[in-house]
Structure 1
Amino acid sequence: MSGWSCLVTGAGGFLGQRIVQMLVKKEAVKEVRALFRTFSLKHEEELSKLQTKAKVTVLKGDILDTQCLRRACQGISVVIHTAATIDIFGAASRQTILDVNLKGTQNLLDACVEASVPTFIYSSSVAVAGPNSYKEIVLNGREEEHHESTWPDPYPYSKKMAEKAVLAANGSLLKNGGTLHTCAIRLPFIYGEECQVILTVVNTALKNNSKIKKYASFSIANPVYVGNAAWAHILAARGLRDPKKSASIQGQFYYITDDTPHQSYDDLNYTLSKEWGLCFDSSWSLPLPLQYWLALLLETVSFLLRPVYNYRPPFNRFLVTMQNSVFTFSYKKAQRDLGYEPLVSWEEAKQKTSQWIGTLVKQHGETLNKKSQ
């Protein structure tokens, strides 16, 4: 099991960074190749801190560049594919999302076959399972229940089709005569330090007299801490490389959650930030059915204007549904097949994330002080 090498795509992302760090610190890897689309000074500093025997190679390239992917995969034992355009607001064009999430994944699978990479782990999303309606209730859902998203929106559709491609590629013949083994990790909302969604929520609240706007009060979700999400990928890599475990993991997908309490997204934001004086905005908000029908109206306006003007609504039906559904999953299958147990407890995850939010609040206060001087 020792002396293997791993390529991590999306290595500059929230999840990808943690996977790179964890591979270096916890695994007997000889090399980690970190594929970045944009590589900053901050990333360079973080990677230089990884004092270890493992070699960390930075590759700057795009998931749509087939030549780059072939070079990146040469001599690699495992590919962990986290690169994706995560867009539930409709900010990016449909074609961009499909290109990166679907075409990019297929490009990487093809590169693995060409370079004879035997192990491929895909970072998927619970969005491939739904929810299809805010009236639908899924509590502690399991893999064998076959939940599937019916949304045509580019993000859930592209992640669903990419996951299908990855699982269908399991058993493919490699160029050297070996066999490709694949699995997918389905993740819910990932939180923790540097989470861009929480960053936006906190910064918006700080500009609004420390009041958090409610947007997801009707949801019951089980978010996962970023360290636990990364850990599941490490265990999947171990499992697929282990001849004793591999057969039960190949071609499978796994829901990964942790012991974060089931709660609404609004309550999660409040719980993580209340120590720093943030509280809910008590202003009136639209009832859920009205939000949904308003979203439909805005989508219709956007569709009708498309020939002459690219109008992007502030929200859509998929977003309203996702943020206001009872939609939680169990990690029992991952526990059984991968030996997955959350590495970080809820209390520790809450403390780490809250401390990071505290730095944001202090930075905001310092900025205001400078402006007033």
Structure 2
Amino acid sequence: MSSQIFPSPNSSEFVMFSKLSTLFAGFYRLSAAGVVLKNKDSEQTLNMREINSVVEPQSVILITGGAGFLGQHIVKLIQERRPDVKEIRVFDIKPYLNQLDHPESKPIKSFVGDVRSLHDLLKAFDGVDTVIHTAGLISYGTFPDLEGMQQINVKGTKNVIEACLKQNVPRLVYTSTVDVVIGFEEIINGDEDKTTKPRKFLFPGYPQTKSEAEKCVLQANATPLSKGDGSVLQTVALRPNVMYGERDPHYVTNALANAKARGGVLTRVGRGDALFQQAYVGNVAWAHLKAEEAMRRQDSWVVYEGTVCDLTL
């Protein structure tokens, strides 16, 4: 299986992510030429070179769950494409190991801890400029770990927010899931503005806890940081679909195993005419960095809003 991050490293284009190609409540619009920054009456387009010239240098980015599937790809892309980053921190329940065999030009600090422990987070967040919060528990099946998901996905996210505020971390990018808007009703031509929390989630447990956590993240937007100089926390939530790619621990391998067990036939649920779009993990990782990069710019044209963005890449 060969997958490629779009665009290529030599391109000045941005990956187009979001069904509406919309980020930050309509103030950012991704296009093949760059990012269009909008205010009430005007537009201004910045290409990749211009954006790289305005981001602050020598930054520190921390990824919770950085030793996991998505986190590994985020670390890889920071190493390859973020010359402004001087240090990468990984916060996970297990030590970080480079499983993608990419070159490492930037130092990586691995913090072994639990998002349920505010003490662990405060230690790791000291001196951090941006937190990308991917850590979470996914539990399905006949007896899902409901309490574990509540503690890790909801309480853990609240702890991440509190640690950001106490340690004066100005940016938080949260990995949500498209499951937070999937219920038993059909979604036709849905987008971030049209889809809302369903009356009943399609799957119990996981979507509910991710929905609660996402709400906490968005409500925390514009909360003053503890240093009291007027600085605030800026937040955004991204909703990726099911991901595939290098080091995929579940999706493709389970699908192939199920097909093999059924004589080479892959079971399809429903009438057979529904469309389902998976997302390449490298593109999802790239979207996280583009969101972080957009939040980082100090530009009078930009209006930051705590909002969500659906990812189908």
Deviation at 1:149, TM superposition (A): 2.6
Q: Distance in 2 between matches of 1:103 and 1:123?
A: 15
Closer/same/farther in 2, CA of residues 218 and 87 from structure 1, 3 Å limit = farther
Q: 1:70 to 1:7 in 2, by over 3 A?
A: same
* Kept in 2: contact 1:7–1:73 (CA 8 A): yes
Q: Is the 8 A contact 1:239 1:246 kept in 2?
A: no
Cα 1:194–1:211 change in 2 (3 A) is farther
1:222-260 per-residue CA deviation (whole Å, 9 max, x = no partner) reads 2211111111100011011112288434301111112xx
The structural deviation recorded for 1:173 is: 1.1
| Aligned 1:174-253 pairs, distance under 5 A | 174-177=225-228, 178-195=231-248, 196-215=250-269, 217=272, 219-244=274-299, 247-253=302-308
Contact 1:173 1:180 (C-alpha < 8 Å) held by counterparts: yes
Secondary structure of 2:224's partner? coil
Query: Aligned partners of 1:179 and 1:201: how far apart in 2?
Result: 44
| Cα displacement string for residues 265-297 of structure 1 (whole angstroms, at most 9, x for unaligned residues) | xxxxxxxxxxxxxxxxxxxxxxxxxxxxxxxxx
The aligned counterpart of 1:18 is 73
In structure 2, the CA distance between the partners of 1:90 and 1:184, relative to structure 1 (3 Å rule), is: farther
Distance 1:187 1:245 in 2: 29
Decide whether the 8 Å contact of 2:72 with 2:98 is kept in 1. Answer: no
Consecutive unaligned residues of structure 2, counting only runs of 5 or more, are 1-55
**Cα drift, residue 47 of structure 1:** 7.4
Structure 1 position 128 matched with structure 2 position 177: no
* Residue 210 of structure 2 is aligned to residue 159 of structure 1: yes
SS of 2:198's partner is coil
- Give me the TM-score of the superposition, normalised by structure 2: 0.74
Shift of 1:213: 3.8
**Identity across aligned pairs (percent)?**
30
In structure 2, the CA distance between the partners of 1:68 and 1:222, relative to structure 1 (3 Å rule), is same
Higher relative contact order (CA 8 A, sep 6+): 2
**CA RMSD after TM alignment:** 2.1
**What is the Cα deviation at residue 157 of structure 1?**
0.8
Which deviates the most, 181-190 or 203-212?
203-212
Q: Greater Rg, structure 1 or structure 2?
A: 1
Once the two structures are TM-superposed, the CA of residue 113 in structure 1 deviates from its matched residue by 0.7
Contact persistence 1:240–1:250 (CA under 8 A): no
In the alignment, residue 230 of structure 1 is paired with which amino acid? A
Task: Kindly provide the CA deviation profile for residues 152-210 of structure 1, in whole angstroms up to 9, marking residues without a partner as x.
Answer: 62111111111110000001111112210001111111122332121112134345554
Pick the aligned partner of 2:161 from 92, 109, 128: 109
The SS at the match of 2:189 is strand
Please, which runs of 5 or more residues in structure 1 have no aligned partner? 259-373
The SS at the match of 1:144 is: coil
The structure-2 alpha-carbon separation of the partners of 1:197 and 1:236, relative to structure 1 and needing over 3 Å to count, comes to: same
2:127 is matched with which residue: 40, 64, 75? 75
Judge conservation of contact 1:127–1:149 (CA < 8 Å) in 2. Answer: no
Separation (CA, whole Å) in 2 of partners of 1:220 and 1:164: 28
| SS class of match (1:6) | strand
Q: CA deviation at 1:91?
A: 4.5
Q: Which position in structure 2 is the counterpart of 1:139? A: 188
Task: Verify the 8 A CA contact 2:60 2:128 in the aligned structure 1.
Answer: yes
C-alpha contact (below 8 Å) 2:60/2:86 kept by paired residues? yes
User: Do the aligned residues in 2 keep the contact of 1:118 with 1:174 (CA within 8 Å)?
Assistant: yes
**Structure-to-structure mapping, 1:41-56, within 5 angstroms:** 44-46=97-99, 49-52=102-105, 54-56=106-108
Q: Write the distance in 2 (CA, Å) between the matches of 1:19 and 1:204.
A: 29
- Indicate how the Cα distance of structure 1 residues 158 and 218 shifts in structure 2: closer, same or farther if over 3 A, else same: farther
Cα deviations by residue, 1:77-102 (Å, 9 ceiling, x for unpaired): 00000011123435432111111110
Question: Structure 2: how far apart are the matches of 1:221 and 1:215?
Answer: 11
CA distance in 1, matches of 2:59, 2:300: 17
Structure 1: distance between partners of 2:58 and 2:260: 48
Given the two structures, how large is their TM-score scaled by the length of structure 1? Answer: 0.63
Determine whether 1:257 maps to 2:312. yes
Instruction: Measure the CA separation in 2 of the matches of 1:232 and 1:245.
Output: 23
